[in-house]
Structure 1
Amino acid sequence: MTIFDCRLRIINRQSQIANHKSKIINRKSEIANLKMLTSLVIRLQSAEDAGLTFGNGRAVHGLWFSLWQQVDPELATRLHTQNGAPPFTLSPLMGLPRPRQGHISVRKDRPTWFRITTLTEELSTAVKENWLPALPEEIELAGVRWRVTGYTDDPAEHPWAGRARYSQLANQRLFGKEQPKSWRLRFETPAAFHGSAGHLPFPLPDSLVKSWLRRWNAFAPIALPDDLSDRTRSGVVVSAYNLKTVPVRHGKRLIVGCTGWEKLYTVNLHPAMRAALNLLAHYAFYCGSGAKTTQGMGMTRIED
């Protein structure tokens, strides 16, 4: 091989590296234009002594759509009839006493809260400009009267509140130099996953990634690889967990989910796939995990 051939190979290699860097810069530029995510915590206080049932996410779901019908019927219809991944999640009433035989006793002036997350800037803006102003000072939820005492999307004011742009998540989690090999996930409300014969109450790695990936690719302009959930079958394991099964009543149906924590660990997973998984695990704070996330199930976050 001549010196000229060696120099030519070096030049070609430098050109390939420059093109690769250019693609990364262009991709970062695209991600800078991605949309807003919001986690809005609404604080309540009971206006009476009362009792309510556990798993009242459907009641929050009813309040959500009832107000949309008043302020924007067209948007209410779109949200209700939309195929595919929904652009929001709803929690049940949180911070209440532990249920006894499925029932919760609430004393007057008892504080509680519920959470709304929105996965698009359109819906985040609509909630703040239309839905929140229409929220009365007193509401009836799950058969109980509550006073609305405030709301926030500031994580400094509430651990389940938050706001971020897709660009922020991507720059921190996808393009970060150090990619973790494990994640400890907290399932704050029961999580269940679609299976061939019904709902499964255990968060298998590929089931988790499939649910996160479906939502990410539905709303983020830059898609992640469709085969990511398949790769997690051989590249991610559950290394530890402390979970318990919890039944949740949805009308006439009873869905069994799980609450607690689970630790995922990667085994021979390509760094690029680890980066994508890291991004999705943090995105789960907004999009939730598994089924019925619009009716109170699957609230998820990473624990440090």
Structure 2
Amino acid sequence: MPHSLVLNLLPQSPIPSQFLTGRHLHALFLNLVSSVDRELGDRLHDSGADKAFTISPLQAKLNHTNRTRISDHTLQWDHEKPIPIGTPCWWRISLLDDTLSSKLTQLWLNLNPAQPWHLGPADLYITSIFGTPQLTQPWANATTYTQLYEQASDNERQIALSFCTPTNFRQGNFDTALPTRECVFNSLLQRWNKYSGISLEPNLTEVIFPSFFNIRTSLAADSRSKFIGCVGEISYRIMGNIEPLIIKQINALANFALYCGAGRKTTMGMGMIRRMNMTKNNFD
């Protein structure tokens, strides 16, 4: 059962920018897991382990931003300055199977708001957790794979996706930042088949064509590496005389994108995408 949880956080001391990278937030997630199941946390730390989760970059509710945004839907993934003490922040964690969600349910149900969690030298308090849809927080949600499939439309041909953090795909020995239909939907399909238990057709991309796009490449970097990915919006359209079953399966994958993301380094905040409503080429 996929969950998209939003943790609201309050730093008790400034968070230096060098501790706001994906690998530090990845480590914070593993500490959360280890607090309820040390063996599971150690297993997830193994580079070859099945990582049925994604995380977002930390989002600070500041009155300014350190970068130019391509749209209102992109998130902040680079921090040139420390996050000040007492700044409300939020952080998205998605869980793709029941093993992780059942373990972490113990943590959420017994959450001590006075217990600090550590991000580098900074202490953070988890003040609340959103696990269901919120008017002001589109990243919070929960469903089952059966519901995702059954509720998917079998006649909606427009698929509008927003790439909210840099998204990059592996092709052979190299990376590409171009979100082709094959890269995007095969990535979604691979994760769907891995966790859902509901088999979909293997060649769905042949009927999907881009109809609108407003994208650019963007860089995410830390002291160890640089990651070039795509951010922005693309609308794909299902073309041709296609049976409703195929349309339904493509729509199920598009709805699944909120939980699983796409491409590389989704466990470090990259590849966050979600479906948008689109009318006259405007995302609502």
Question: Does the alignment reach a TM-score above 0.5?
Answer: yes
Write the distance in 2 (CA, Å) between the matches of 1:88 and 1:183: 24
Q: Which amino acid aligns with 1:124?
A: S
Given the superposition, is the C-alpha separation of residues 154 and 98 from structure 1 closer, same or farther in structure 2, using an over 3 Å criterion? Answer: same
The reply to whether residue 248 of structure 1 matches residue 248 of structure 2 is no
Q: Which residue of 1 aligns with 2:249?
A: 276
Given the superposition, is the C-alpha separation of residues 84 and 193 from structure 1 closer, same or farther in structure 2, using an over 3 Å criterion? Answer: farther
Q: Which residue of 1 aligns with 2:23?
A: 58
Q: What is the Cα deviation at residue 266 of structure 1?
A: 1.8
Higher helix share: 1
Match of 2:264 among 291, 294, 302: 291
TM-score, normalised with respect to structure 1: 0.77
Q: What is the Cα deviation at residue 198 of structure 1?
A: 2.2
In structure 1, the gaps of 5 or more residues are 1-35
Write the distance in 2 (CA, Å) between the matches of 1:287 and 1:92: 15
**Higher mean C-alpha deviation, range 140-149 or range 205-214:** 140-149
Given the superposition, is the C-alpha separation of residues 187 and 54 from structure 1 closer, same or farther in structure 2, using an over 3 Å criterion? Answer: farther
The reply to whether residue 202 of structure 1 matches residue 174 of structure 2 is no
Write the distance in 1 (CA, Å) between the matches of 2:102 and 2:249: 27
Q: Which amino acid aligns with 1:264?
A: Y
Q: What is the Cα deviation at residue 170 of structure 1?
A: 1.0
Q: Which residue of 1 aligns with 2:229?
A: 257
Match of 1:156 among 130, 134, 142: 134
The reply to whether residue 165 of structure 1 matches residue 144 of structure 2 is yes
Write the distance in 2 (CA, Å) between the matches of 1:92 and 1:142: 15
Q: Which residue of 1 aligns with 2:9?
A: 44
For these two proteins, the number of residue pairs brought into alignment is: 262
**Higher mean C-alpha deviation, range 240-249 or range 203-212:** 240-249
Q: What is the Cα deviation at residue 299 of structure 1?
A: 1.2
Match of 2:99 among 109, 122, 139: 122
* Structure 2 SS opposite 1:148: strand
Question: What root-mean-square deviation, in Å, do the aligned CA atoms of Structure 1 and Structure 2 show?
Answer: 2.5
In structure 2, the gaps of 5 or more residues are 68-77, 278-284
Given the superposition, is the C-alpha separation of residues 44 and 162 from structure 1 closer, same or farther in structure 2, using an over 3 Å criterion? Answer: same
Q: Which amino acid aligns with 1:145?
A: D
**Higher mean C-alpha deviation, range 120-129 or range 72-81:** 72-81
Contact 1:88 1:118 in 2 (8 A): yes
TM-score, normalised with respect to structure 2: 0.82
